[in-house]
Amino acid sequence: MAASLTLADAKAVLEAALAKAEEIAQPMNVAVVDAGAHLVTFARQDGAILASIDIATRKARTSALLRMTTAQLGEAAQPGAPLYGVETTNGGLVVFGGGIPLERDGEVIGAIGVSAGSVEQDTEVAEAGVAALP
């Protein structure tokens, strides 16, 4: 049977990310999607900027669909790079840090997307979520 992301897995990832956001005192929006880029769970912490709800969700979708971090995609999407312009596809992808695939047994089973801080903070919070995947 193929590896998959359960609701319990997604909740563990979400809770770890939210805890890291609290630790660094930066309210965040956190989205967790399955391998097909469908939303499994989401949270907006009090004070997290509203525009970042969509950005967090798109970061998670982007990572799941392309099986890479949004930071990696950003490098590949620069002018002259192989994926230049890709952010305009699929209803809008995100090409800066904060989206990271979730993997189990070498297979992408979903992704986390975080937004509302700096790119570095978003990535740090997303990494905490990834580390908590059971």
pLDDT tens-digit series, residues 60-119: 999 999 999 999 999 999 999 999 999 999 999 999 999 999 999 999 999 999 999 999
CB atoms within 10 A of CB 59: 35
- C-alpha to C-alpha distance for 9 and 117, rounded to whole angstroms: 24
CB atoms within 10 A of CB 134: 9
pLDDT of residue 62: 98
Strands of the chain (E only): list them: 29-34, 39-44, 99-104, 107-115
CATH class of 7-131: alpha beta
Residues 98/122, Cβ–Cβ less than 8 Å: yes
95 close to 113: Cβ distance less than 8 angstroms: no
Task: Work out the percent of the chain whose per-residue pLDDT is above 70.
Answer: 99
Percent helix, percent strand, percent coil in the chain, to nearest 5: 40, 20, 40
Q: Which residues make Cβ contacts (< 8 Å) with residue 129, sequence separation at least 6?
A: 13, 14, 16, 17, 20, 30, 32, 100, 112, 114
Q: Which residues pair with 100 in a beta bridge?
A: 112
User: pLDDT at residue 45 above 90?
Assistant: yes
Structure tokens given for 58: 């798109």
